Chain A
Amino acid sequence: MALALAVVRGLALLAAALLVVALGARRISPAPDLLLVVVVAWALTRGPLAGAAAGLAAGWLLDLAPPGATILGLTAFAYAAAGALAGRARSEGPVTAYRVGLVALMAAVVVQGAVAARALATNAQVDLLHLGLGGLLTATVAAVVVPLLVPGDRGLVPRRYG
């Protein structure tokens, strides 16, 4: 069961990473960060450690998926930090859209902040409007999708009795 769960989550991350790249290829910009949505869903279900692990895996996927990142590992760090932050907001009980949107927005700020910091370090231009719109779109999609994903994800986790 645990292996099946890991495979399902891995496939979800892979599909989200490919969708992110495919949206970019269709010049849809700004676009929601679907990978971050999956990471937030995972983090809200399982907590900060699992969120960081999911973020690390998601960031590595983005680092490696062609065309890839200039420096491997930096995106992985940003997503891991975002996943850990989102995981700290985990709570028992139903997950409300408002709460998910807020957590996803914070996670997006972490990821976009890393992007902006890297751009500033190389004297490149930073389009704050573009980054802000991307963050808002991510939060909106997360607010709609994650409340639907979390019960399914919780259902896959084996229950402990006794």
Chain B
Amino acid sequence: MLGAAVAATAVVAVLGSTGAVDLDPVRGAAATALGPLERALGPGEDALSRARAEQARLTARLAAAQREAATGQQLGALLADPALAGARLVTGRVVAVGSSGPSGPERVTIDVGSRDGVEPDRTVVATGGLVGRVVSVTAWTADVLVVGSPDLVVGVRVGAAGVLGEAAAAPAPGAPRPQPGLLSLSLVERGSMTRGDAVTTLGSVGGRPFVPGIRVGTVRSADSTSGRLAPVGTLAPAVETTTLDVVAVVLGEERTGPRPIVTGTG
């Protein structure tokens, strides 16, 4: 009898620690049976506990007010971005951050999902510019692959001339490895870029995964003597992914009809 009980305990401990079996129903049943007894034996309400409860309520209200003010401020700055003028956006907050890569978080979870109209391969932006793209969606949350993740390569335009290139965490062949926090930038054809040039998204078909014209960052260094045909360099991202809070998902609008035919006037 005792041996069986010890064996059962060992099995439960192993299964519980490995997460192979969900033991929450057992905990729930125990809480249902023992909870009322604990409540009866627990400390009663007195002046001190009432004061503490009031303090906790006020602290929570203050935190909520501060959060609302900060959200409003960030949201205002985000919506004022000229690159997003006229875009259909759904705003959300970062609620979970995945494992960090060499240059910060690689995936984050935001609190908007398919019920808010979010779909995979949508552009995610924050105040300042591009955050990343939606990779998976549940009813109320969405996972975002952020700029700086090794799995994310962004087609970009560099500088006022709009030279085509690509930005990625991994260096292009022949290019030096970017420092932590920076992205590798390589132009796809002969062109030039200089430090300080703005880098924006090139855009994709149907605006998925990236809508055009979103600020990705700024050229930090440019090197045209690396032995490659096209110059390479590094890029400082426009958005600090380690402090992400309020973000917006660009919903975009699918094109349903052909583009109009136009006549040259030359």
Interface residues of A (CB under 8 A from B): 14, 18-19, 21-22, 25-26, 49, 52-53, 56, 60, 64-66, 68, 71-74, 76-77, 80
Task: Give the distance in Å from the alpha carbon of A9 to the alpha carbon of B238 in the complex.
Answer: 68
- Apart from A22-B43, A77-B9, list 19 A-B contacts with CB within 8 A: A18-B37, A18-B38, A25-B38, A25-B42, A25-B43, A26-B43, A49-B2, A53-B1, A53-B5, A64-B27, A64-B30, A71-B13, A71-B16, A72-B12, A72-B13, A72-B23, A72-B26, A73-B16, A77-B6
Point out the residues of chain A lying under 8 angstroms from B16, CB to CB: 71-73
Shortest beta-carbon contacts, A-B, top 8 = A73-B13, A64-B30, A22-B41, A73-B9, A73-B12, A66-B31, A71-B17, A72-B16
Point out the residues of chain B lying under 8 angstroms from A49, CB to CB: 2
Q: Which residue of B lies closest to A52 (CB)?
A: B2
Cβ distance A67 to chain B, nearest Cβ, rounded Å: 9
**Which residue of B12, B23, B30 is within 8 Å of A65 (Cβ)?**
B30
Q: B9 near A56 (CB under 8 angstroms)?
A: yes
Task: Give the distance in Å from the alpha carbon of A120 to the alpha carbon of B5 in the complex.
Answer: 27
Task: Give the distance in Å from the alpha carbon of A34 to the alpha carbon of B27 in the complex.
Answer: 22
- Confirm or deny: B34 has a beta carbon within 8 angstroms of a beta carbon on chain A: yes
- Confirm or deny: B117 has a beta carbon within 8 angstroms of a beta carbon on chain A: no
Q: A18 near B10 (CB under 8 angstroms)?
A: no
Q: B5 near A56 (CB under 8 angstroms)?
A: yes
Point out the residues of chain B lying under 8 angstroms from A52, CB to CB: 2, 6
Cβ distance A149 to chain B, nearest Cβ, rounded Å: 21
Q: B42 near A22 (CB under 8 angstroms)?
A: yes
- Confirm or deny: B35 has a beta carbon within 8 angstroms of a beta carbon on chain A: yes
Cβ distance A157 to chain B, nearest Cβ, rounded Å: 18
Point out the residues of chain A lying under 8 angstroms from B1, CB to CB: 53
Binary per-residue interface labels of chain B (1-41) against chain A in the complex, 1 for a CB within 8 Å, 0 otherwise = 11001100110110011000001001100110011011001
Point out the residues of chain B lying under 8 angstroms from A18, CB to CB: 34, 37-38, 41
Cβ distance A143 to chain B, nearest Cβ, rounded Å: 25
Task: Give the distance in Å from the alpha carbon of A106 to the alpha carbon of B108 in the complex.
Answer: 50
**Which residue of B5, B17, B30 is within 8 Å of A66 (Cβ)?**
B30
27 contacts between A and B (CB under 8 A): A14-B37, A18-B37, A18-B41, A21-B41, A22-B42, A25-B42, A25-B43, A49-B2, A52-B2, A52-B6, A56-B6, A60-B9, A65-B34, A65-B38, A66-B34, A68-B27, A71-B16, A71-B17, A72-B12, A72-B16, A73-B10, A73-B12, A73-B13, A74-B13, A77-B9, A77-B10, A77-B13
Task: Give the distance in Å from the alpha carbon of A74 to the alpha carbon of B13 in the complex.
Answer: 6
Known: A18-B41, A25-B43, A71-B17. A76 touches B9 (CB 8 A): yes
Known: A64-B26, A64-B30, A66-B31. A21 touches B12 (CB 8 A): no
Q: A22 near B17 (CB under 8 angstroms)?
A: no
Q: Which residue of B lies closest to A76 (CB)?
A: B9
Q: A56 near B2 (CB under 8 angstroms)?
A: yes
Point out the residues of chain A lying under 8 angstroms from B12, CB to CB: 72-73
Task: Give the distance in Å from the alpha carbon of A52 to the alpha carbon of B9 in the complex.
Answer: 13
Q: Which residue of B lies closest to A67 (CB)?
A: B31
Q: Which residue of A lies closest to B14 (CB)?
A: A73
Cβ distance A11 to chain B, nearest Cβ, rounded Å: 12
Point out the residues of chain B lying under 8 angstroms from A71, CB to CB: 13, 16-17
Cβ distance B36 to chain A, nearest Cβ, rounded Å: 10
Cβ distance A89 to chain B, nearest Cβ, rounded Å: 19
**Which residue of B6, B10, B41 is within 8 Å of A19 (Cβ)?**
B41
Point out the residues of chain A lying under 8 angstroms from B6, CB to CB: 52, 56, 77, 80
Q: Which residue of A lies closest to B32 (CB)?
A: A66
Cβ distance B5 to chain A, nearest Cβ, rounded Å: 6
Q: Which residue of A lies closest to B43 (CB)?
A: A26
Cβ distance B114 to chain A, nearest Cβ, rounded Å: 33
Q: Which residue of B lies closest to A68 (CB)?
A: B27
Cβ distance B72 to chain A, nearest Cβ, rounded Å: 37
**Which residue of B30, B42, B43 is within 8 Å of A68 (Cβ)?**
B30
Binary per-residue interface labels of chain B (220-237) against chain A in the complex, 1 for a CB within 8 Å, 0 otherwise = 000000000000000000
